[in-house]
Structure 1
Amino acid sequence: MNTPDIKIRLVTLADAPALLHIYQYYVQQTAITFEYDTPTIEEFEKRIRNISLGYPYLVAYADNKILGFAYLSSFHPRAAYIWSAEISIYLSHDVQHHGIGTLLYNELEKIAAAQNILNINACISLPKTTDTHLPMTSIYFHKKNGFKKVAHFHDVGYKFNTWFDMIWMEKSNNIHPSPMTPFIPYPQIKKDFFA
């Protein structure tokens, strides 16, 4: 698979079954997500709708097949945190290491800048030792894309009869002006990114 063949677009609710199929693998086979049960299609559609009210939710595809998805979401509901966002990504487990994640992240970072988001944070589960349910790929991916570890929590997730740590990684704009320009919800600027 060549990266130039990959296209990025906004999610639609019609994508929910394909996205849920990708996510189901991570729920059932990995500790990358700490969810135990695969969400229903209705719950997954609700998540897409809620996130899309304020943030970009993107899919990567080639030949009309969805290969993965990534989105920004609220870092914390209190007003003072509005200039920070959490980033999440899930790729079909058989298409990793082809640059798809980096394409998605590059697009999300451009949109985040247009929304006046200054800090992008990733919550990542971490194994204590080599674990078949939790490879280190997410940490390596985020490091490669300029994220730095900023927090480490011990024994916070229990899945597959194993305790896992969790870290936060951050990519931050070095300039934090004051006064700060307002956060712009994504629907107000999406025409500038996707027709």
Structure 2
Amino acid sequence: MWRVVVIEICQASLEDAKELLAIYAPYVEETAITFEYEVPSLDDFRERMKHIMRFYPYLVAKKDGVILGYAYAYAFHERAAYQWLAEVTIYLAKAARGKGLGRKLYEELEAYLKQMGVLNLNACIASTSKEDAHLTNASQKFHEALGYHLVVCFHKTGYKFERWYDMIWMEKALGEHPTPPKALRSFQEILGEER
């Protein structure tokens, strides 16, 4: 008998914070994907979510009610002229990696950002010239497969696990850059229009 696997992608809620933090914690403790040394407290993580969710999408992917990953966007920089740029981030549970879930999450995130009026996406990614147990360049390859291109590499910027890692920025344009650009709308406005 065949079983249809349905992945639901929806807006995160603050009640998801504990599950999301459980996905994030191994990235902090076991990898150089994030340059954080300590896993944030649940309260701190929830505050980060709250800050992002005021304006930007914060999405989760669920299968049978269990969260397998999350992706979100946030302001690239606080200066007004940068408002049409967003930085994007994604984290997947270990068992969910390599199955196309990341692509689905990012495609949904990008669709919302495009509706908001965001024109460029930027991803800050840990990188290495020599892969090891703490960092491969899988994130760079993932972003390349989704149309991102390398913009810059900062060498030896993050020190973790007794070695130096590079940091790269990758970029993807979501469309034309009109002059003047359309006013940016919040994710909440987009959701209101969908109802």
Deviating more after overlay: 177-186 vs 49-58: 177-186
Gaps of 5+ in 1: none
Report the equivalent of 2:44.
Answer: 43
Report the CA distance shift for 1:29/1:89 in structure 2 as closer, same or farther (over 3 A). Answer: same
Instruction: Tell whether 2:96 aligns with 1:92.
Output: no
Shift of 1:149: 0.5
Under a length normalisation based on structure 1, what TM-score does the superposition of the two structures give?
0.95
The percentage of counterpart residues that share the same residue type is 44
After the TM superposition, list the runs of 4 or more consecutive aligned residues in structure 1 that deviate by more than 4 angstroms.
none
Report the equivalent of 2:180.
Answer: 179
Report the equivalent of 1:158.
Answer: 159
Shift of 1:191: 3.2
Cα distance in 2 for residues equivalent to 1:61 and 1:174? 29
Deviations 1:97-140 (A, max 9, x none): 11110111111111111111000000000012121100121111
Instruction: Tell whether 2:74 aligns with 1:73.
Output: yes
Deviations 1:82-109 (A, max 9, x none): 0000000000012101111011111111
Matches within 5 A, 1:12-31: 12-31=13-32
Report the equivalent of 1:148.
Answer: 149
Report the CA distance shift for 1:3/1:131 in structure 2 as closer, same or farther (over 3 A). Answer: farther
The answer (yes or no) to whether the contact 1:3–1:99 under 8 Å persists in 2 is no
- 2:18 counterpart SS class: helix
Say what the alpha-carbon RMSD is for the aligned residues: 1.4
Letter of the 2:169 partner, please give it.
W
Shift of 1:185: 1.3
- 2:78 counterpart SS class: coil
Cα distance in 1 for residues equivalent to 2:167 and 2:188? 32
Shift of 1:192: 4.2
Deviations 1:126-171 (A, max 9, x none): 0121211001211111011111001110110000011000000111
Matches within 5 A, 1:52-71: 52-71=53-72
The answer (yes or no) to whether the contact 2:5–2:63 under 8 Å persists in 1 is no
Cα distance in 2 for residues equivalent to 1:69 and 1:187? 18
- 1:94 counterpart SS class: helix
Report the equivalent of 2:168.
Answer: 167
Report the CA distance shift for 1:4/1:171 in structure 2 as closer, same or farther (over 3 A). Answer: farther
Report the equivalent of 1:134.
Answer: 135
Under a length normalisation based on structure 2, what TM-score does the superposition of the two structures give?
0.95
- 2:183 counterpart SS class: coil
Cα distance in 2 for residues equivalent to 1:68 and 1:160? 25
Cα distance in 2 for residues equivalent to 1:135 and 1:18? 25
Gaps of 5+ in 2: none
